[in-house]
Amino acid sequence: MKTIAIAIAFVAVSGVAFADEKPIELKDAPGRDVVEKNCGACHSLDYIKMNSPFMKSDVWNAEVAKMINAYGAPIDQGDVKTIQDYLVRNYGG
């Protein structure tokens, strides 16, 4: 019973800690909605901002391909170029 009470208290406190977090906002540019829908479905969008200083076009293109081929991201082929172009133009390091 004590373990359940501790778990409930932890969840309650954790929820308060996350309540103050601001949502990640990507740069407003063509393709943002496609990136948010596809990339944000599997991971936080803050990865894009955190990694952008290190990413050039070939690396972004490889990352998108890796997400599809290695991790099985369900990205439509029609969205791949839009995602790559958005990332390169707006977060190309």
> Helix 57-69 crosses helix 77-91 at what angle (to 10 degrees)?
150
Cβ-proximal residues to 70 (8 Å cutoff; 6+ apart), any chain: none
User: pTM of the prediction?
Assistant: 0.75
CA dihedral 33, 69, 60, 91 (to 10 degrees): 30
Average pLDDT over residues 64-88: 96
* pLDDT of res. 23: 80
Domains of the chain: 24-91 (1.10.760.10)
Which residues 6+ apart lie within 8 Å of 66 measured at CB?
Answer: none
pLDDT score at 8 = 60
Q: What is the per-residue pLDDT for 57?
A: 94
For residue 26, the 8-state DSSP code is: -
Model confidence pLDDT, tens digit, residues 11-64: 555 554 555 667 889 999 999 999 999 999 999 999 999 999 999 999 999 999
